[in-house]
């Protein structure tokens, strides 16, 4: 509601008719400078406001006349244009909130963390804060995230023992399913698989998707040194193709020991490089070509893929790697894959993604809780303010594109309606 301060006076200025007020407004009447600003949700000004306490002698006639004309012009504006006459952007320049789906959102229950990470030497080199369901939900609320698709993180569940990996995968997936059941409108989850144990992965995929009803599968760029384009993994990808599954590909540490001798955290360079290796191998080993119904999405805007897209094009033009007639070009493949914005939301990256893959293939992600909370929240704000995206692209990137991949969530949320 918009409330205006009305100044009391013994000699009131004549009130303009609606027709005259409208004419004044249309003919370009300029309202004098005013010291107040209309605010949403502001309580009405009391009749004994400061302005009303002054007598006519204390308020010059010019002020009263100007105030009366301001009231008339405002009345005309509201009559002609409705509330849009005074619409203004949010103070920080952000767009109105739209449905926001975080597809890159980690859960790190204590039992998983103890089994797979050392507290003083976490995989990737960045130690996240202790995870809890309450911390997760409070972050989502503060960041304005309506839905998060949860997944565990590096290094996955396989630490060298198939039996233990199967047991941990089952425990993680049942834990994730419990979170989703408790918060079905706010959470989804990706099933973790005990690769490189293919038989164990097939059984866990069946259990997680058919019985637990999880929303897709998580795989890592390599599983104990075996990359995803390797033929040993063909049975798993055939099953993912049969199910037309959504598959989240997350980076992990490289099996090359020299990559870890630079004194740098793997999360800085090696993770993005390993994502690039996985994409390249899956393309040139025809993994993508053989699984056209699988909906793959890659973390962190695909590592270095947007920047190296020109090199892929040159390799394809020169027919350096045979088999192009089966798989098509890398450029064609990239436009069929999905890519998230975790740690990759800045305008130059969005421009590269637009040129390389198209913004209809981009999904919003935060990488919570590995990125510091305030930085993650600032990143969401950047996406809500950027001028790189038009309104339709903004809504699609924040949530609309994700709903195309997750029918359960699409059934719960109206894509065209702001949830918050």
Sheet containing 147-151: give its strands across: 101-106, 147-151, 187-192, 216-220, 246-250, 295-298, 338-340, 362-363
pLDDT band at 60 (very low <50, low <70, confident <90, very high): very low
Higher pLDDT, residue 75 or 126: 126
Residue linked to tokens 């859960």 = 107
**What digits encode the pLDDT tens for the residues 1-52?**
343 333 344 444 444 444 444 443 334 434 333 333 333 333 333 333 333 3
Higher pLDDT, residue 60 or 132: 132
CA-wise closest residue to 63 among 7, 120, 134: 7
The answer to whether residue 208 scores a pLDDT higher than 70 is yes
**What digits encode the pLDDT tens for the residues 116-161?**
998 778 889 999 999 999 999 999 999 999 999 999 999 999 999 9
pLDDT at 418: 41
Alpha-carbon span 215 to 25, nearest angstrom: 55
DSSP 336: T
pLDDT band at 414 (very low <50, low <70, confident <90, very high): low
Rg from Cα positions in the chain: 28
Task: Taking the CA atoms of 23, 25, 26 and 31 in sequence, report the sign of the dihedral they define.
Answer: positive
Residue linked to tokens 């997350």 = 250
Q: Region 214-219: what's the mean pLDDT?
A: 98
**What digits encode the pLDDT tens for the residues 281-309?**
999 999 999 999 999 999 999 999 999 99
SS3 237: helix
**What digits encode the pLDDT tens for the residues 365-406?**
999 999 999 999 999 999 999 999 999 999 999 999 999 999
pLDDT at 130: 94
What structural domains and CATH numbers belong to the chain? 18-86 (no CATH), 101-412 (3.20.20.140)
Cα of first residue to Cα of last residue in the chain, in angstroms, is 19
SS3 125: coil
Q: Which residues of 243-264 are buried (b: 16+ CB within 10 A; e: fewer)?
A: bebbbbbbbbbbeeeeeeeeee
- Range ranked top by mean pLDDT from 2-6, 50-54, 75-79, 182-186: 182-186
Q: Say what the pTM is.
A: 0.77
- Six-digit token string for 15: 């009130």
Q: Region 68-89: what's the mean pLDDT?
A: 39
The answer to whether residue 169 scores a pLDDT higher than 50 is yes
SS3 216: strand
- Six-digit token string for 8: 């009391």
């Amino acid at each position: 509601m918009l409330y205006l301060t009305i100044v009391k006076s013994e000699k009131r200025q004549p009130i303009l008719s609606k027709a005259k007020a409208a004419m004044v407004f249309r003919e370009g009447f300029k309202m004098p400078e005013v010291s107040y600003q209309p605010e949403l949700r502001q309580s009405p000004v009391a009749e004994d406001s400061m302005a009303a306490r002054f007598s006519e002698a204390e308020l010059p006639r010019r002020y009263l006349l100007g105030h009366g004309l301001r009231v008339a012009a405002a009345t005309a504006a509201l009559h002609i244009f409705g509330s849009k006459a005074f619409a203004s952007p949010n103070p920080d320049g952000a767009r109105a909130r739209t449905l926001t789906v975080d597809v890159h959102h980690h859960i790190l229950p204590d039992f998983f963390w103890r089994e797979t990470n050392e507290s003083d030497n976490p995989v990737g080199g960045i130690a996240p804060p202790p995870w809890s369901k309450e911390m997760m939900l409070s972050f989502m609320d503060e960041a304005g995230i309506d839905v998060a698709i949860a997944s565990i993180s590096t290094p996955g569940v396989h630490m060298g023992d198939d039996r233990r990996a199967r047991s941990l995968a089952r425990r993680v997936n049942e834990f994730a399913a419990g979170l989703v059941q408790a918060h079905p409108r706010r959470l989804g989850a990706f099933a973790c698989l005990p690769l490189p144990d293919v038989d164990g992965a097939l059984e866990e995929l069946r259990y997680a998707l058919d019985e637990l009803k999880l929303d897709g599968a998580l795989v890592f760029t390599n599983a104990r040194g075996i990359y995803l384009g390797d033929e040993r993994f063909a049975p798993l990808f055939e099953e993912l193709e049969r199910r037309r599954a959504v598959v989240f590909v997350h980076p992990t540490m490289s099996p090359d020991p020299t990559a870890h001798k630079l004194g740098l955290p793997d999360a800085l360079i090696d993770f993005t490089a390993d994502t690039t290796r996985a994409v390249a191998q899956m393309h040139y080993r025809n993994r993508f070509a053989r699984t056209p119904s699988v909906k793959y999405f890659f973390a962190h805007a695909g590592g270095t893929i947007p920047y190296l897209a020109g090199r892929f094009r040159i390799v394809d033009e020169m027919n350096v790697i045979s088999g192009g007639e089966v798989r098509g070009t890398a450029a064609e493949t990239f436009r069929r894959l999905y890519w998230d914005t975790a740690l990759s939301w800045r305008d130059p990256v969005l421009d590269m993604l637009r040129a390389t893959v198209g913004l209809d293939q981009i999904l919003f992600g935060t990488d919570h809780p590995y990125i510091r909370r305030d930085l993650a929240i600032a990143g969401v704000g950047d996406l809500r303010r950027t001028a790189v995206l038009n309104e339709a692209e903004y809504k699609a990137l924040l949530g609309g594109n994700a709903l195309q991949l997750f029918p359960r969530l699409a059934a719960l949320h109206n894509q065209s309606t702001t949830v918050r």
